[in-house]
Amino acid sequence: MTNRVSIEIHPIEGRHSVAQKSEFMKRATEAVVKILNCLPEEVVVNIIERKPENVSRAGTPFTERG
């Protein structure tokens, strides 16, 4: 049986470039491998982007924040 480690983040859509997301996935995988002593193939990184109109902080949607 293989162990699988999953990392999931939920950034606001359009705030990060493809290159930034790719770099995050690479570094997150490297950190998990080093800290948890697992294989890179066992690490799954999932970036689920959310539309700003669907996310709020302190009750204020991100589309209304300055």
CB neighbourhood size of 32 (10 A): 19
Domain 5-55 is of which CATH architecture?
A: 2-Layer Sandwich (3.30)
Q: Which tokens go with 62? A: 């991100």
Domain boundaries, given as residue ranges, for the chain: 5-55
Single pTM value for the model: 0.83
**Could you state, in chain order, the average pLDDT of each consecutive group of 10 residues for the chain (66 residues)?**
86 96 98 96 97 92 84
Which burial class, exposed, middle or buried, applies to 43 when counting CB atoms under 10 A from its CB (0-12, 13-18, 19+)? buried
